[in-house]
Structure 1
Amino acid sequence: MAGSQEAGSKVARHGGNLFTVLSATALIATEAFATAVAAGWALAGLLNLGDVGEYALMGLFSLAAAYVSFVYFRRAVRVEASLVV
């Protein structure tokens, strides 16, 4: 009986950790993409690159933001999985 309660608490704790990781990743990804788009817009305006240059920089910086978000998610999952409570 005690084993089933312990197993249930592990599942609940793991689900809570996953929710925390997903929530933090959503926050980081939103900030990274907003920064990428703003940086592309500002840099293109500063260098007078026009619309095509603006979209190209936004796309380039958004790829970097996607990579950063993916790396953050992988590391956060690894850290949460290694925690012993």
Structure 2
Amino acid sequence: MILVGVEVFGVALAAGWAIAGLFELGDTVSYVLMALFSVLGLYLMWGFWKKAVEIEPVTG
């Protein structure tokens, strides 16, 4: 889960930076896009976590 989470957030940050750079939108828009994509990544990770726990429950 940690590896997948780091990869999702890395892609989210890189996508925001790349889109803002490609269209020359500036630093502020770049940060906003990174934040939006990070929130989307967090939502996707939450869904992934729920499915993973359904298949293999956490016991402790």
State the TM-score, normalized to the length of structure 2.
0.90
Match of 2:44 among 68, 75, 81: 68
Q: Which amino acid aligns with 1:51?
A: D
Determine helix, strand or coil for the equivalent of 2:56.
Answer: helix
Match of 1:32 among 8, 23, 37: 8
Identity of aligned residues (%): 44
State the TM-score, normalized to the length of structure 1.
0.65
Larger Rg over CA atoms: 1
Higher normalized helix content (fraction of residues): 1
Determine helix, strand or coil for the equivalent of 2:24.
Answer: coil
- Cα root mean square deviation, aligned: 0.7
Pairing 1:43-82 to 2, within 5 Å after superposition: 43-81=19-57
Determine helix, strand or coil for the equivalent of 1:53.
Answer: helix
Q: Give runs of ≥4 in structure 1 deviating > 3 Å.
A: none
Q: Which runs of 5+ in 1 are unaligned?
A: 1-24
Q: Which amino acid aligns with 2:42?
A: A
